[in-house]
Structure 1
Amino acid sequence: MSDQVKTKAQDAVALVDEVNSVVLPDPSPAEDVVSLETASPEMSEEIRARMDEIDMGDTQSIVSFGSAAQAELQEISQAMLADVRNKDVGPAGDSLRDIVTTIRGFSVSELDVRRKQSWWEKLVGRSAPFAKFTARYEQVQAQIDRVTDTLLKHEHALLKDIKSLDLLYDKTLQFYDELALYIAAGQQKLAELDNVTIPAKEAEVQAASPDAQVMTAQQLRDLRAARDDLERRVHDLKLTRQVTMQSLPSIRLVQENDKSLVTKINSTLVNTVPLWETQLAQAVTIQRSAEAAAAVRDANDLTNELLTANAKNLRDSNTAIRTEMERGVFDIEAVKQANADLIATIQDSLRIADEGKARRAKAEEELKRMEGDLRDTLSSAKARGTGTGDTTATSVPAGA
């Protein structure tokens, strides 16, 4: 870590301690909406002022009832989301992971010069482990300085956010209370419509003449429709107030996370990074010693391998030469095999000759038999030809 970065990190320690010493207040917002009857005089005036914003004859007045508070709330919510996206744990966490990844690159297995390279290392043509180690070490210091400088920027941004979130919390709490006033005003207006205005309009319809009764009834329907619109609007304000109440602990949670992350970043800059740099310097020295020891070991191993290999080769070649010298011109086993094959050949010849003689004798007997059969057949055919008619095939049937 450079002296400039180290100075910045040490200067930030006071700010981190100041932030961590502040206990974040967590006031519980009121859950129930105070009615006009139970409200204090000051709050009653606020509720009546918001009731005056409602004009039952103006639909836009009902639709936009409480919209000012909702617009402010939406603005705050968008600011919160933008704050989370812009500041936030992601880049700072990435910077921390960058440091860890850089340091983890110097793994023990990678420093082993005799280890077998993986298929990926062979595919990308990775250099020898120690050459790669040295090349990477030449850039580590610059990488650490760059990453620590980035972490410092995130640390200052987080410190600002922690303070700004206090203002955001207070403003959100104000609008939470403002929504309660609008809800109380809407509920009071609904009660007034149900108990006074609408019954009075119903009586007016009943008392109207037949000609005016249709128009008065239409006014009553419009008043009831406007009343339903107001009821739905009050329900939406209640939902909005619930969402607002949920956002209050969310703001505190973001603050607590930011404080934890600021502490972690500062600890990394002040304590961890210098320790890593010391360990890296030791790793280089240890690696060079290991390389020298490995070279001596390889030389000794090669000498021992040569002695062992030469002795074995001498023994193998001597055995082969002496064996060939003691052999005869012909091996007795070869002579025995040749004599056995010759006897078997003569026996096969005699056997085949006997089998041929027997087949010829049998063939002569078969020829004699065939000749006799042919002679008998011819004699029988001649006798039939000198009889009452011709051969069987050419005789004329009786009575023809």
Structure 2
Amino acid sequence: MTSTARQEARKALAEIEAVSATILPDPAPDLVPLEAAPPAEAEGIRRRMAELDMADTGSIISFGAAAQAELQQISQAMLSDVRNKDVGPAGDSLRQIVTTIRGFSVSELDVRRKPSWWERLTGKAAPFARFLARYETVQGQIDSVTDDLLSHEHKLLKDIKSLDKLYEKTLDFYNELGHYITAGEARLKELDTTTIPARAAEVDAAAEDQQMLRAQELRDLRAARDDLERRVHDLRLTRQVTMQSLPSIRMVQENDKSLVTKINSTLVNTVPLWETQLAQAVTIQRSREAAEALRAAGDLTNELLTANAENLRQANRTVRQEMERGVFDIEAVKTANATLIATIQESLQIADEGKARRATAEKDLQKMEAELRDTLASARARKDGAGARA
């Protein structure tokens, strides 16, 4: 964690203690009627009663509406820069409405949806962020996490202060609604007990030509009285909802305060512990890599020793065998001698066979010669002389 982030976390601690020490007032439990109200409060109720003009329907409809103006301004200021994603389920519902009106599909814009088979096939759903994180520096990642936590802490502190103002203005609106309800009930009581009976008496006492007009005025007054009663009832409902929102605001504030305290504790205590543990992890990993390198070197040495010893044994065997051999191998000499003897014997056998064939041929030649002489002798002994010519 950088020194700047550490200083900001320490500065935020005092601000956290200040917002945590803020005590918000509780709402008034019950409405105080006009007769029992303190003088200053009674004067305020009468001033609100004066806003009512029973002859003007608009004044009845807008009765109490001005009390919400400042509260609405604070709410709008808080929501001015808020995105739908920051509101959670409420933002999802609002986005659903907007996208339905515009014709878009929310599922197409939701990054949390299950990817389609085509996206998985084309690799769009691959965890690319985890791949990139492998090549980031550890200190850079810690600084990034620290910056995110500081950003959340500042936003939550801003929200807590805004919620303080929202609570105060909501409480003022709640009390103001009480004054308007009291003023409306007082005016209703005045109408029921004084104004309407007096107007009814005027109708009865009016001349015949004026009686219809007076009766219409009485009906309009009673209708305005009913409108005022409904408006007071609406104000009661609004006051009830407003009273329910006050503990909700407090609950959100308490949750934000707890989160801010936890974030600050993480920045001040946990992140340095991360850095220490990660530094130890780096040292351990480097020691492990060095040990593995040494083991690999030792294994390589052993493999070389074993291989060299085996190679030496094989080379020595080959050399010694060649050294112990004669110029000619005895087996080769034996083979050559046997071949020579066989050759001599074969030559003698061929010579004997040739001599025998020549003797046989000589006998055959002598026989053929004798036969030829005898034939020639026979031919000369013939008288016709043909034998002599032959």
Shorter-chain TM range is 0.5 to 0.7
1:372-397 CA distance string (max 9 Å, x none): xxxxxxxxxxxxxxxxxxxxxxxxxx
Cα distance in 1 between the residues matched to 2:17 and 2:229:
51
Cα distance in 1 between the residues matched to 2:276 and 2:5:
17
1:20-56 CA distance string (max 9 Å, x none): 4x1x424332232111111222222211111111111
**Cα offset, 1:5, TM superposition:** 2.4
Structure number with bigger Rg: 2
Q: Secondary structure at the match of 1:54?
A: coil
Which among 67, 70, 88 is matched to residue 68 of structure 2?
70
Contact kept in structure 2, 1:47 and 1:181, CA below 8 Å? yes
Quickly say closer, same or farther: Cα 1:163–1:266, change in 2 above 3 A. same
Partner of 1:217: 215
| Aligned pairs (5 A) from 1:153-172 | 153-172=151-170
Partner of 1:14: 14
1:276-324 CA distance string (max 9 Å, x none): 2222233334334445666748997x98xxxxxxxxxxxxxxxxxxxxx
| Aligned pairs (5 A) from 1:270-289 | 270-289=268-287
Q: What one-letter code is carried by the residue in structure 2 that aligns with 1:64?
A: S
Partner of 2:241: 243
1:109-164 CA distance string (max 9 Å, x none): xxxxxxxxxxxx9x9799xx9xx89x826422212212212322332343344344
Cα distance in 2 between the residues matched to 1:87 and 1:159:
19
Which among 129, 148, 151 is matched to residue 149 of structure 2?
151
Cα distance in 2 between the residues matched to 1:154 and 1:125:
25
Cα distance in 2 between the residues matched to 1:18 and 1:59:
48
Cα distance in 2 between the residues matched to 1:29 and 1:124:
54
1:44-87 CA distance string (max 9 Å, x none): 22111111111111111111111111333333444455688799
Quickly say closer, same or farther: Cα 1:274–1:125, change in 2 above 3 A. closer
TM-score relative to the length of structure 1: 0.57
Q: Secondary structure at the match of 1:205?
A: helix
Contact kept in structure 1, 2:71 and 2:169, CA below 8 Å? no
Q: What one-letter code is carried by the residue in structure 1 that aligns with 2:14?
A: A
Cα distance in 2 between the residues matched to 1:39 and 1:74:
28
Q: Percent of counterpart pairs with the same letter?
A: 67
Quickly say closer, same or farther: Cα 1:269–1:54, change in 2 above 3 A. same
Instruction: Mark the runs of 5 or more structure 1 residues left unpaired by the alignment.
Output: 91-120, 304-400
| Aligned pairs (5 A) from 1:49-198 | 49-79=47-77, 136=134, 138-198=136-196
**Cα offset, 1:242, TM superposition:** 1.6
Contact kept in structure 1, 2:71 and 2:166, CA below 8 Å? no
Partner of 1:35: 33
Quickly say closer, same or farther: Cα 1:211–1:89, change in 2 above 3 A. closer
TM-score relative to the length of structure 2: 0.58
| Aligned pairs (5 A) from 1:285-300 | 285-291=283-289, 296=295
Partner of 1:103: none
Quickly say closer, same or farther: Cα 1:39–1:87, change in 2 above 3 A. farther
Cα distance in 2 between the residues matched to 1:163 and 1:216:
57
Q: Secondary structure at the match of 2:33?
A: coil
Q: Secondary structure at the match of 1:33?
A: coil
**What is the aligned residue count?**
269
**Cα offset, 1:11, TM superposition:** 3.5
**Cα offset, 1:261, TM superposition:** 1.3
Q: What one-letter code is carried by the residue in structure 2 that aligns with 1:265?
A: I
Q: What one-letter code is carried by the residue in structure 1 that aligns with 2:6?
A: K
Cα distance in 2 between the residues matched to 1:259 and 1:266:
10
Contact kept in structure 1, 2:49 and 2:183, CA below 8 Å? yes
Partner of 1:254: 252
Instruction: Mark the runs of 5 or more structure 2 residues left unpaired by the alignment.
Output: 89-122, 304-390
Q: Secondary structure at the match of 1:37?
A: helix
Partner of 1:203: 201
Q: What one-letter code is carried by the residue in structure 1 that aligns with 2:44?
A: E
